Structure 1
Amino acid sequence: MATPISLVLIKFTLFLTLNLLFTSQPHEVSCNNDTDRIALLQIKNCTTNDPDGFFSSWNDSLHFCSWPGVQCSRHGSDERVTSLDLSELDLVGTLPPQVGNLSFLRHFNATGNSFTGPIPANLSRCSKLRILMLSSNKLRGKIPVQLGSLSKLEILRIGQNNLTGSLPASLGNLSQLVNFGAAYNNLNLSTIHIMTFTFNKLEGRLPENIGFTLRDIGYFAVSENDLVGSIPESLCNASRLVDINMNMNRFAGRIPNCLGSSGGLLALSKLQNLQLLSLQGNEFSGRIPDSIGGLKRLFDLDLSRNRLEGPIPASLGNCLSLTSIDISHNKLSGEIPAEVMNISSSLANLLNLSHNSLSGKLPHETGKLTHLNTMDVSHNNLSGEIPSAIENCESIERLFVQRNSFQGSIPSSLASIKGLRELDLSCNSLTGEIPQQLQDVKDFQYLNLSYNNLRCEVPSGGIFRNTTAVSLIGNPLLCATMDLHLPKCATTRPVTRRVRLAIIAASASLSLLLLLSSSASLLLYMNNNINKKKQSLVVEDPAIDQFARVSYYDLHKATNGFSPDNVLGSGGFGTVYRGKLDRIEAPVAVKVLDLLRHEDRAHKSIAAECNALRSIRHRNLVKVVSFCSSVDRGGSDFKALVFEYMENGSLEDWLHHETCRRLTLAQRLDIAVDVGSALHYLHDHCETTIVHCDLKPSNVLLDADMVGRVSDFGQARLLVSSEEDDTFSRSSASAKGTIGYAAPG
């Protein structure tokens, strides 16, 4: 009997197993499809008013994936709901918990309806949800804690409802969230201590009552968003605020009273715990409030890149805990208050006042900042001398004072700052020599002294050996023995006494013999050479003869062989070089005519220039120093005029070139008066009236004192007596000078 019973049991067990095996899979498919369909129908059933008949086609006549507002996608063999859009339909009802059964739902938008009741906590089961938009309804109750488990949620909009309670701490788990809106509810946020929404895409304005709602907030950060409007005054009521970070938004208006403005001292007293105030990169305007000095615990102030104007408040010096001040890139004016330098014990990281319109001197009290690491006062209108007391800033590593109007010499005391790494003094009016001690600063990584009026031989040690770390351009009177893109200095190698005696002993026996044997040959050669030169000279204009002459070889030596490094500029008939003649202490400008291309016109040009300048003397005219008419080394004709050297180049360089040199209004007026004085002299006080015919900014040169000098008389015309007027008129009938410029009459 046992065997039949066992067989029956085995057969029964096998039957049940096979039955379950073949029936379970179809049942699961049907269940999954039905789950989404039933959840959708439950939403329809919980809607009590559908004014537009939106749900009328939600029935079995269509597959639920074809119902309005529903989108599906295939997952395996199933069609699952991935998007549900019920927005702006004026629907009335509630959201059933079954909505959480749409387990593949990614987008759910039900904004602009009149749904009541709570937000379904079961929505947390929609683990793939990325967008949840329920704003502009009448939802009540608390925000479900379970929403914090939606790890893929990117957009959560629940504003304009009747939600109460506080924001669940679990929302902090939404690491993918980039857009969150909960405005216009009845949420109680008074217990929130930290609120950080940095690097999101928040738009709109901060609620006016934010300070009343967030009474216990300590850290408030909304930087890197797209918020607009002003900072609500109610923020002053958040008396426990420690950090305010609103960088990189589009906030505008004035800084609130509680952060310091006239009449705001009472409100300011509520923010005594504030340690960080960062409003960088917005559109704030108006003044920095004087009462900002009441923020005694403030250690980091960043108001940079706004539109603030007016003076820097001296009361800022009362913020004795400040370690960093950045108010750069504004429109601040006036002098730098010496009181700011009183923050000497704490100001250790940064003092950045750059890119404003500050004027006056750099305070002597700057030397008190003994712990400061970086100071930047560049791109202002500061003047005077760089205070020598800056040597006391023994911790400074980066000092930027470029693009100001500092004068005087570079303080040699800068070299005593042993940790100095970066120094930029470019685009000022500094004079004198480069302190030799700077080459002894071991940690130097960058040095920019360009566009000043320095005059010396550049030191050859230390950082000056690194041509990529040093910039010295725009200092025409500098020279160097190294390759620093500067004229080479005249060098003489010292000869020791031992070497000198050896040379004398070795050559004494030969010198007399060589001298005697070569004297006759040399004299004969020189005589023949002089005769050849005389034969090759073109007959000069009498006007040229009255200038002192200089030889070709003198000019060749003076310009380092007419080196490209000495070129000052090129004109219509030749090139101008900077040179140094042995018999003249000051540098000169050598204008070499291009006789190969413009022989006839060049000769007329130089004759016209000499004819115009031979009998005139005026402080606003460039003086001719000498003249050369000879042959070059190849035997070709060579002509050149030698002028006074103008240290500050041409007016065109200051007006139009992309350099950092700027003319003040007073300088512009002075130069205009100088040019007018020169023209008045040429037209009305010369024995023969001279018309320049090519007056333009490039022909107005500026000397070391920025006095304007008119130059280049190559197009000049003399207005002679009436008998010759007709001839002159005919020769001047065509336009003279440079295209775009009309010669003054």
Structure 2
Amino acid sequence: MNLGHLPSLEWLNLGYNQLGHNQPPSGLSFLASLVNSTRLEFLGLEANDFSGEIPNCIANLSTTLDQLVLSYNYIYGTIPRGIGFNNLSGVIPACLSNITGLLLLSLESNMFHGRIPASLYFTWEKTLFEGSIPSSFKALRSLEVLDISSNNISGNIPQFLGEFALVQFLNLSHNKLGGEVPKKGLFSNVSAFSVVGNYRLCGGIEALQLPSCPPNILKTKKEEFPWRLIPLVVLLPLATLLACLTFVFCRIKKSKQQNGPVFVFQDTKYPRLSYQDLTLTTLGFSQNNLLGQGGYGSVYKGILESESLQQIVAVKVLNVEAHGANKNFLAECEMLRNIRHRNLIKIITACSSTDITGNDFKALVLEFMKNGSLDKWLHPSPSGQENKKNLSLFQRLNIAIDIALALDYLHHQCPTKIIHCDIKPSNILLDEEFVARLSDFGLSRFFLTSVGHTQTSSIGVRGTVGYIPPEYGMGGKVSAEGDVYSYGILLLEMFSGKTPTGSSILMDHANNLHHYVRKALPHRVMDIVDPRIKVQTEDHNFLEDKSLIRSNILSRMEICLALIFEVGILCSVEMPKERICISFAIKQLHLARDKLLLHGCKQL
């Protein structure tokens, strides 16, 4: 194989072939022919039966290469001064930190050992690392996923990990960590982290059900406290001075504020509420009224009272210190003010004011959704009442159609086309009748079209790992096709019960949820369906037509699921232009629902 005459080559994907079949151990030697491809950014060679060691020539591509995929081959040996995936061994070389162009490095499922290089931060699942978590991790505050599970990492869990506001999931499971589990920040939400398989841990939040920490740990903390007190005593005068200056600054800032809040909506149909009004509405932003929280801020349940009625509302208080918070607040206000649809969350009003300390305060007042988010129904917490929640096949299908209709409205029926940019289960809310509403428009983008010109923006585009379309990661502009991709992943998740970033997907040797489902179609549909859907068929009392036998029900159910999964696959293909439009997805999902209704399986 000679690719040396392609100096302008930027993207080369040869994955999922048999290029290494019946090749000598030096099957990767052809990489030397790419030495002149100085613009190469992506090289995919996964699942090709290559064997042998990675040649040293790979280091010549390190200045331009963004992604190198060698997974699912038979490559062995130590890492050269380049990159590696498979059954590789040895110590991670420090020179990896010099590859400045690298955007993605996956080292999972190898046999690396030694200490984690303090200059790297990637995914180190099942790599046999040892030692403690380095303190240099403090600087990695832009991380969204940190997975160092199934290693030999020991020591205590650093408190600073709880301060990572952007982390979607922290996986520390199956290591040798010990000591007390932190309780603050990220560690206050049991669904945001995992520490299972670390049998020396204690304490933590009640949902972890870990044993209480022994007295010797508490005693150690008490013995260390006097040493910490010394710098506090030394710095006390300075701290007092800073507190006084801060107080004066806040007073000056507050005196410059206008009397009362700045009203975001001038239209009189939106109530004008101040910080004090919302404090009363939520009973002082009580923890008892807290519905959920994340990097964006917190959502509280409240009762909005007027002269004529009482209305239950959800008050979304934004974290004004988060990056881009003000921009996202204004964007969400603008979006919600201009859209009207049964399957989009309704805004009641917005408040931009100051709190009692003079700091900025921004909040959205939205309609209250009694049944919460779809995420809590698909992936209930292992503790508490949530684990009893379950959605039937018919309910899930109705919700899927609701969200598709919402996207069709945003993409094709609005006066100004809108791209949502963050389709995921936690942004889908359910009312008391399980009618779905799409929410959280903070990342949304207007798609302005004038004669002969289209304006779009990819600057600052963010989303959620697992749902972001691949072209966004390569600098592509936001598009309706990007929303369709995210919707396709959501659809596969709803009916398989698998999260797109779940470890069970990788254990099944699938690169992502799309490939996991695609491999099962069309003959193994029932092998991948969410087991909680299949439980519905065990009860025959719900059948409207008593003549229907169980085998017939399963057959109809399988046909319906195959059609739904096929829609999800067609929505989430890699190339944007090959994805189906959302209107076609709606048509196919309606067809699946009609099949259920026709055969009396409405309650499945």
Normalising by structure 1, report the TM-score: 0.27
The higher-RCO structure (CA 8 Å, 6+ apart) is 2
Of Structure 1 and Structure 2, which has the larger fraction of its residues in helix?
A: 2
